C-alpha cells in the first residue's frame, strides 16, 4: 500500500516530541505539509528543524492550545488533516486530585481538541474531504488507579470523536480515535521511574513496569511511537475512506476485549 498525502496540510498538536513528533514525521514522510505545535518555542522549532533535515515541509507554531488556540488559527485557518494529540498525564492518588487539576486535564486533553475540531471541521465538510483524529489511550477503557483524571479525559475523547463523526456524516470527512497502548516516550520513561523503585537499568525497569502495572499487555513491551504513527498515517489516507466513527486500537493487546 502506497499512501500519498501530497498536497495535503496536516496540523498535529503536541508534536514537539514523543508520539506527536512521530506522527508528524510519518505524515511528512507520506508527502503532507505538517504544522507542528507546542508551548515551548525552542522545542517546537528544534522538532521542525529535525523534520526539515529529512526534506519535510514543516511549519512550527508555538501556542498554548489549552489556553488560546488563536495563534495557530491565525496562521493556519484551514487544514485537511487534524490530529488532536495534545495531552498531559501524571500519577496522583485519586483522593488527592484537586478541582483545579480536574479542570486542567479536561481543558488540555479534551476541550483543546474540541475547539480545533469545531474550527476546522466545517471547512473540511464544505470541501468534501478531511481527516480528524483524536489520540486516546488504553486508559480510556481500563481506567488506571494511579491517574483516574487522565483516564476520564481519554474516555471523554471517545465520545467526542464519535459525536463529531456523526456531525460529518455523508460529507467525505472521517473522524476517528486511535487508542494508543503503553508507549515508549521520554515522558513515559519518567512515569515508569516514578512507579518502579530503585535505580534499575532501563530495560529491567521497563520489564518490571509492564509486569507489575500493565501485565495484560500481549506485546509485553512498550510500543514505539512510530507504531502509533503508522495507524494515524493510514487513517489520514484515501485508503481509509470507509473508516469513520471508530476507535482503533494500537495497544499491543493491552485491553482484554474484542471491542473497545
178 DSSP assignment: E
- Report the alpha-carbon distance of residue 27 to residue 60 in Å, rounded: 15
Active site residue 150: yes
- Report the alpha-carbon distance of residue 175 to residue 169 in Å, rounded: 9
Residue length of the chain = 260
176 with 248: CB under 8 angstroms? yes
224 DSSP assignment: P
SS in 3 state form for 32-47?
CEEEEEECCHHHHHHH
143 with 155: CB under 8 angstroms? yes
Q: Which H helix or E strand runs over 244? A: none
83 with 232: CB under 8 angstroms? yes
Here the cell at position 89 is 498525564
Catalytic choice (89, 105, 120, 150): 150
- By annotation, the residues acting in catalysis are 150
Amino acid at each position: 500500500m502506497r499512501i500519498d498525502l501530497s498536497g495535503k496540510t496536516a496540523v498535529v498538536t503536541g508534536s514537539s516530541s514523543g508520539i506527536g513528533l512521530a506522527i508528524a514525521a510519518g505524515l511528512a514522510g507520506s508527502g503532507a505539509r505538517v504544522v507542528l505545535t507546542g508551548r515551548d518555542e525552542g522545542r517546537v522549532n528544534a522538532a521542525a528543524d529535525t523534520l526539515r533535515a529529512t526534506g519535510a515541509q514543516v511549519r512550527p507554531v508555538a501556542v498554548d492550545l489549552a489556553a488560546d488556540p488563536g495563534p495557530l488559527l491565525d496562521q493556519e485557518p484551514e487544514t485537511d488533516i487534524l490530529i488532536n494529540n495534545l495531552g498531559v498525564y501524571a500519577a496522583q492518588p485519586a483522593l488527592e486530585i484537586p478541582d483545579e487539576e480536574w479542570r486542567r486535564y479536561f481543558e488540555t486533553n479534551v476541550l483543546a481538541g474540541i475547539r480545533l475540531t469545531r474550527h476546522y471541521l466545517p471547512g473540511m465538510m464544505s470541501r468534501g474531504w478531511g481527516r480528524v483524529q483524536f489520540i486516546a489511550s488504553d486508559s480510556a477503557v481500563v481506567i488506571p488507579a494511579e491517574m483516574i483524571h487522565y483516564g476520564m479525559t481519554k474516555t471523554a475523547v471517545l465520545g467526542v470523536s464519535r459525536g463529531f463523526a456523526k456531525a460529518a456524516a455523508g460529507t467525505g470527512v472521517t473522524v476517528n480515535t486511535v487508542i494508543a497502548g503503553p508507549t515508549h516516550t521520554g515522558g513515559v520513561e519518567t512515569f515508569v521511574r516514578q512507579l518502579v523503585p530503585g535505580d534499575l537499568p532501563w530495560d529491567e525497569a521497563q520489564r518490571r513496569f509492564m509486569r507489575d502495572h500493565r501485565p495484560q499487555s500481549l506485546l509485553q513491551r512498550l510500543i514505539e511511537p512510530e507504531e502509533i504513527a503508522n495507524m494515524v498515517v493510514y487513517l489520514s489516507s484515501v485508503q481509509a475512506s470507509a473508516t469513520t466513527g471508530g476507535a482503533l486500537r494500537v495497544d499491543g493487546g493491552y485491553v482484554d476485549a474484542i471491542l473497545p
